[in-house]
Amino acid sequence: MSEVLLFHHALGPTAGLHAFAEELRRAGHTVHEPDLFEGRTFGSIEEGVGYAKEVGWDEIMARGERAAEALPDGLVYAGFSLGVVPAQMLAQTRPGANGALFFYSCLPPSEFGSWPGGVPVQIHGADADPFFMEEGDVDAARELVATADDAELFLYPSDQHYFADSSLPSYDAEATALLMERVLAFLAKRP
């Protein structure tokens, strides 16, 4: 079974993200859920991103690094939206990554050097989500798929950014069920 380091999105550690992590645990995986916002949650993407900017992106990244420090090598790094940033950085720069799962976001691999050989990745996004489709994330995801040894991009029919967070009005149960099926298949292949 896999050990997953899962970073939350800009609203903070919501009940829906805890439920997502719990579903992975029920499948036998170990999941760590660090809180990049130190107990704060927000009602909108803009508020959460505003907080991250106020604290500073360097500090958000440092919090992600600190969350990984006490954990073993061989992690699968996962992130939702804003959480993709530390997840991708760690997957690309911390030795021994066992995989990466990116939800609703992706950065160009060049942001952190190059994608490491032998590290599989899945990227999940909504095909009509303006954040994912119009702000460069889907382009970065396609670039990563084209250059990595083992990479997949999955698009879901939705215009919602946080479609897999069951605690939000944007939740899409059908798309999330398919996403979870793909994630569990991915994790089952990791030693």
**Residue of 83, 4, 100 whose CA lies nearest to 37:** 83
CATH architecture of the region 3-188: 3-Layer(aba) Sandwich (3.40)
* Pair 58, 8: CB distance under 8 Å: no
pTM higher than 0.95? yes
At 127-146, the pLDDT tens digits run 999 999 999 999 999 999 99
H runs (alpha helix) in 103-165: 130-134, 137-147
* Pair 85, 107: CB distance under 8 Å: yes
At 15-53, the pLDDT tens digits run 999 999 999 999 999 999 999 999 999 999 999 999 999
Return the beta strands (E) in 22-167 as ranges: 30-32, 76-80, 99-103, 121-126, 151-156
The encoded tokens of residue 8 equal 């939350």
Domain ranges of the chain: 3-188
